Chains A and B, each alone.
Chain A
């Protein structure tokens, strides 16, 4: 029965998707390499150790003890509304995958695939009044291959330093397929457009202009109760090579026109604190800031699409709470579960768009070694004060699967 239910849900996921309708023509929705752990506590917890890779603070990796592999899957529904119309859609994402490889006093190495921005949408619409059909599909993600290294300082081993290199990859495409409107042609000429569906297609790839990668560096102090970090991510320019075409089928041999747009992503600062106020009980707060000073050139290129997305200062302010589960395997199951709660305010990079969200989550141990499933349920609203951007409500679930290996750990002797 369970299997059957899951299967029907999955089928539905495949059939439609969009994480957000905001900013599809710019960069899409910021994902910030979220995981089910960080979403469960509302994007906070960069200063808390033992929960894997956090994009804003790679130096906390230095306190990892076990080799682990984590993959996060996110399923989110969104309802967009404006002028009394509302539209809902769903998305399925893989926001982050990472491998952590601690090497004891030699530091910790980690390799991740992090989704930075996602712009996905695949909707088909039939407009009953005009008997025509539009089919719109956005598929985009700016994702990064992120090797990180973190090391506890030799004599001040409460302090660690970390660095992540972000190799930008990914691509984006936009396809708008339209049926013909013959209202301007004579009746006897209408035959010519029968079943001629025209697709306005844009295809692009992402990379960093002039560099192979950009970097994040962070410093972290882990105290007995209070821990702090500060990180700096260098400014970089994303280059999006785009090919625009109009086609009636995939076999059309028209030559696309090629242009590229450059998006100046400003320096990112992030800081956070975590306070362990009682055994296994932590509260934490994080703040990320990115001061956009130039606007973003849109994919646009046709119809009445706007050429520019206006930007604003982007920030995330997050607070969260986590009750760590008890490691001892003989304790009750509910005591071994991690519980998380958090809330955040995100000022989007898009002018006049602000997001308020809450998340709750749990880390469920599977077996004794540390293998676990993290689940987060996140929801909130995105308010937009703009004609073309619709307000959104979102609710989603993110599941992270962490597998732990025992490479580098001495096998325990059993007497």
Chain B
């Protein structure tokens, strides 16, 4: 074995070392080889401007399905949308409700709902400086109360899947709706708000013997602003307090009272949004909700522009008709817009997010467009994809949509783009497009480009959607010199 090792050492390693060391290589030579084979060493970028694009159809779609929200609930009416809060309670306490129903409790029975403003939101929105927020808010309180017995009843309510519960809220028959005035006075960000629940509901609760399922809906159609509260999964949670009676004890001439009550926490929460817009011909996009603007971009001018550029026919119909002769490096659609901040819920600029329908294994699926930063432009004029901001145009990158469209143009593909309102932008001139979280100890390191919370804003496209739009393409082709 020693001989084998020696053999390997002297006969095998030297040639290996020779092969490894003697041959040296240079990048310029490889470029020369690539050139001899007909390969390029980079791709040439060409741009094409396509003017006078008018959208062939557009449609706003609003999905009014209630949305589950565990961390932040919103209540009020803003930007043409009414947002109601629904709490789902389920509880069981035989002895408490026996006391609650007792005749001795008749004069004391009461209930209120404690709500905590979302201090994180109010701080980030800069509303901490404009406190107090005061309003005598009329809240319509509606409820549906169902009673049962035993822990099996609690389980049967707990087993209702969220999606089933949310869908059921559309048809839920409420027992009653009562207007209640809630005095709002937010003096600091740690304030709590108390909503006294109507007497009818309190009386209804006295019918509870053992267990109950209460769905409580709050609606504020005439609010001055939208209120944001912590939800059932937050650190500070809303709760309902039901009081049976108050006992007054006189001791040494001092009277003190003690309440017999029960705190009940909701186990889930939903927001029900209703469109209150009155103009049926308007093209209005609302933020915060499941609403999108679907536009069809006509493609004839795009194909003829490509024909002029390359001298080839479009769409490509040879072989299996899949066009991979060129690639769209970037596509940008520019449309006019107003610079007004009307409709911005908090006065901040709001990003417009684009998504396109692209092919995925033979099926059209919606895919979010990426956004490449034009840093020089952003430093000078701010991000081009935001509204409620200075400037007169909105530029959206729809690269993936164009790539997919040109690739499959011969098979009847369409160029469809979906627009949505995204988050409020706190730093529209910053070339970062993401939040940077610093150390917890040193918040100065953190950079917040976007607000962490949805914005319930409203942008009116009515006057701009029919206007002339401009499409710019950056293209790479693999056509050779002789083509």
Contacts and interface: CB of A to CB of B under 8 A. Distances in A.
Interface of A: 2, 5-6, 9, 12, 21, 25, 75-80, 82-83, 85-90, 123, 125-128, 130, 132-134, 136, 176, 178-186, 188-189, 191-194, 196, 198, 200, 244-248, 252-259, 302-306, 333, 362, 364, 366, 373, 375, 377, 387-388, 390, 395-397, 399
B28 A127 contact: yes
B31 A246 contact: no
11 contacts: A77-B20, A87-B30, A90-B19, A125-B34, A126-B27, A127-B31, A132-B41, A134-B34, A192-B45, A259-B320, A375-B11
Contact of A258 (B34, B320, B330, B372): B320
A256 B324 contact: yes
Contact of A305 (B15, B17, B20, B480): B480
Given A302-B480, A388-B37, A397-B15, A193 B25 contact: no
Interface stretch (B1-9, B50-58, B117-125, B297-305): B1-9
Nearest to A334: B3
B252 interface: no
Interface residues of B, number: 75
Nearest to A188: B376
Contacts of A193: 45, 329-330, 474
Contacts of A254: 322, 324, 359, 403-404, 407
A200 B478 contact: yes
B248 interface: no
Interface in B3-51: 3-5, 7-9, 11-13, 15-20, 22-34, 36-47
A189 B377 CA distance: 10
A342 to B, nearest CB: 17
Given A2-B5, A253-B404, A395-B19, A181 B43 contact: yes
Contacts of B396: none
Given A123-B30, A253-B358, A257-B319, A191 B38 contact: no
B42 A132 contact: yes
Interface in B205-260: none
B12 A82 contact: no
B254 to A, nearest CB: 74
A21 B265 CA distance: 73
Contact of A75 (B16, B32, B323, B361): B16
A179 B38 contact: no
A375 B19 CA distance: 15
A192 B15 contact: no
A177 B404 CA distance: 20
Contacts of A304: 38-40, 480-482
A247 B400 CA distance: 11
B47 A186 contact: yes
A88 B9 CA distance: 25
Contacts of A123: 30
A251 B307 CA distance: 28
Contacts of A191: 372-377
Contacts of B13: 2, 5-6, 9
Nearest to A377: B15
Contacts of A200: 478
B41 A364 contact: no
Contacts of B408: 255
